[in-house]
Structure formats: C-alpha cells, structure tokens
Structure 1
Amino acid sequence: MTGREFLELDSPQQRLYLERFKRMEVIQKMLDELPKADQNVCNHGTYFLAANSSLCGIAANTLFRNILHVRKASFVSSLPMAIIPFLSTAAFYEVFVREPLFSGDLNCEVCAVVRGGLTGAVIGGFYPVLLALPLNASLAARYSSSPLPGKENLLRYWLTTARPVFRKMSLVVLVQAITGLYLATKHHGIYVKILQQMNTSSRDPEELEA
C-alpha cells in the first residue's frame, strides 16, 4: 500500500478531526465576544469547584488527625490533601464536562448537568475524604499515635473510625454536588449562547442577499 492510498483511506478521520478543530476555533472565537462575566465563568469556574475540593481534603485530613491523635507531620499531610483533590477535580471536570461541551460532543443539557453533579460529589467531595483515610492511617501507624487493631479487626476498626468523618463531611459532599450542578448549568447556558450567535452569524449573509 502506497502512502497516497493510506492517506486516502485515512481521509474521513482526518476530515472529521479538521471539522472538529474548526468548530472549536469558532466556539472559542465566539466565547471571546461574550461578556466578561460569561468568559470568567467559562474559563475559571472549574477552579472554584477544585478549590472547594481542596478545602474538603484539608477538613477531612484534620478530622482524621484528631480522631487518630496524630500531632506530627501536619504540613506533610495537609499539602497532598490540598493539591491532589484540586488537580483531580479540575482534570475530571475538564475532561468529562467542559471539554466535551465546548467541543460540540456534549449537546444534552441533562447529561452535562448530571456529569457536573457527579464530578462535584464524587471527585470533589467523596474522593478527598476517602484519600485522607489511608494517609492518616499510615501516619498513625508510623508515630504510634493511636492503638491499631490486629488484622482480624482491621476492617471493622477503620469503618468505625471513618463513619463520623463521613457523617460530618456529608454536607460538604452535598454542597460540592450542588456546585457541580450549578457550574455545569452555567457552562451549558454559555454554550447555548455561543450556538445562538453562530446561527445568527450564519443567517446574516442570507438575509443581506435577500
């Protein structure tokens, strides 16, 4: 098979990629023409959800440290609990909500809102609490701050230890879910505005000719 034949066989995928790229360029150009408030929500709204996730991680870390009586390595344990949830939440929201939405792959409002709510609740709320458990468990074992059970009672012990933390953090998880829902709703509204501008601009030449 020659190189030309290979390119011809691959041309439908190339055309699809080029059409998607051009569409993203048009959407980005339309976004730059929107009011600053819409641009800020679109470009920086994800970081607000991610920052809340960092606060959630720090709060969960503090609760586990108090329960396990861990007094050392406060900065060492707080730093990853602030950074990892922030990066995870921002990346997940970008990949599963914002990028598919503004590339034209996610046109369903309900789907976008559900994705935003799940990202906020699971990645932005539940995941930081779950991440804090093994981190503080390792610190408790290292510094012997709290008596740990044997292997036969290990699961029951950590379930009992984690239950009050999850109970206290349940409201935070709910807030994160609502924040993700709200952010996805705003992003979808901005996307609809862009589509309306694109439709208007495409009809203008026809109206002028008429």
Structure 2
Amino acid sequence: MGTTSSLCGFLANYLFRNCMKVKQHPFKTFVPLSAIPFLTTAVTYKFLVTDPLSSGDLTADMSILRGACVSVLCGVFHPSALAFLKNGRLAVKYETVPLPPRGRSLLHWTILCQSAAKLMVIPMIVQTVYGGHLAFMQHKICERIFEMLEHD
C-alpha cells in the first residue's frame, strides 16, 4: 500500500505542477512526495491494522474500514495536500501564476487547481478498494494462523 501511495504522491505532484505552471526544482518536489507518503502509509497501516490484527482485536469489518481509511487518508489526501503546498510555494516564489488577492489566497489556489483535484478522485477510489481488500486478505490470513495455533 505504501507503493501505491507513493505513486499517488507522484501523480498529485505532476498534476499540481502542471496546474501552477511550475518548472523549477523538480527534484525538490518529486522526491519528498514519493518518499514521505510511502513511509507515512506503511507506519500508519502497521499501527492501525497489522498490530491489532496480530493481537486478535479486530473483526473483519473493522479491519476493512481501517484499511480503507488509512489508504485514503495517508495514500491520497496526505500526498495531495503536500503537493498543493509545495507547488504553491514554488509558484509564489517564481511567480508562475498570478498572485491571489489579499485575504482570498486559499480560494484562489483552490479554483486554480480544481481540475487536478478532480482527477485525484480516480486514485482515491483505487486506493480505497485496494486498502480494504488488503486488510480483508490480511484478516483472513490471521484467522487461519489463529486456527492452526488452536489445533496444535
């Protein structure tokens, strides 16, 4: 799941760079936006899904819900927010897009990047399905292990 969230970070960065017409410092944004989501997703999934499943505290429904939530929050929203902020700073620094009026900067940037945000719905759906499926499969594996331990 960490790999797919790093790919989502890469895609979000590409889309927001194109919306904000940022051409400078590609490695300054692409490298962190592929590494940080990977690490965040892997650690969060381990603490919220894998460890409770290993201890037998989660049901199948809760594991699917937690897996889907972790994949959406850490796999799509976190990289999208990072890409929006990093590329917004570069766009302001190099003045690649017109500056927003005072006091309305968030609205200005949101309207400017509306098409990129809409395109991020596709990876969000894929991440949700993938995270839920991965958590369900992991729950089935843990159930089999617990059954084998009970028989011995």
CA distance in 2, matches of 1:93, 1:139: 31
- 2:3 is matched with 51
State the TM-score, normalizing by the size of structure 1: 0.70
Counterpart selection for 1:111 from 62, 82, 93: 62
Report the alpha carbon displacement of residue 153 of structure 1 after superposing the two structures with TM.
2.4
Amino acid corresponding to residue 34 of structure 2 in structure 1: A
- 1:129 is matched with 80
Is 1:101 equivalent to 2:46 in the alignment?
Answer: no
Q: Which structure has the greater CA radius of gyration? A: 1
Q: Is the 8 A contact 2:69 2:128 kept in 1?
A: yes
CA distance in 2, matches of 1:138, 1:53: 22
Is 1:71 equivalent to 2:23 in the alignment?
Answer: yes
Give unpaired runs (5+ residues) of structure 2: none
- 1:207 is matched with none
Counterpart selection for 2:101 from 150, 156, 161: 150
CA distance in 2, matches of 1:156, 1:55: 27
- 1:191 is matched with 142
- 1:200 is matched with 151
Amino acid corresponding to residue 68 of structure 1 in structure 2: M
Is 1:86 equivalent to 2:38 in the alignment?
Answer: yes
CA distance in 1, matches of 2:93, 2:16: 15
Is 1:161 equivalent to 2:104 in the alignment?
Answer: no
Report the alpha carbon displacement of residue 196 of structure 1 after superposing the two structures with TM.
0.8
CA distance in 2, matches of 1:149, 1:166: 19
Report the alpha carbon displacement of residue 151 of structure 1 after superposing the two structures with TM.
2.1
Comparing 111-120 and 157-166, the one that deviates more:
157-166
CA distance in 2, matches of 1:144, 1:158: 13
Report the alpha carbon displacement of residue 143 of structure 1 after superposing the two structures with TM.
1.3
Secondary structure in 2 matching 1:148: coil
- 2:122 is matched with 171
Secondary structure in 1 matching 2:113: helix
Report the alpha carbon displacement of residue 199 of structure 1 after superposing the two structures with TM.
1.3
Report the alpha carbon displacement of residue 163 of structure 1 after superposing the two structures with TM.
2.0
Amino acid corresponding to residue 32 of structure 2 in structure 1: P
CA distance in 2, matches of 1:77, 1:64: 11
Give unpaired runs (5+ residues) of structure 1: 1-48, 202-210
Runs of 4+ in 1 over 6 A off after TM superposition: none
- 1:12 is matched with none
CA distance in 2, matches of 1:54, 1:194: 31
The percentage of counterpart residues that share the same residue type is 35
Report the alpha carbon displacement of residue 175 of structure 1 after superposing the two structures with TM.
0.3
State the TM-score, normalizing by the size of structure 2: 0.95
Secondary structure in 1 matching 2:97: coil
Report the alpha carbon displacement of residue 166 of structure 1 after superposing the two structures with TM.
1.6
> How many pairs does the alignment contain?
152
Relative contact order: is structure 1 or structure 2 higher (C-alpha 8 Å, sep ≥ 6)?
A: 2
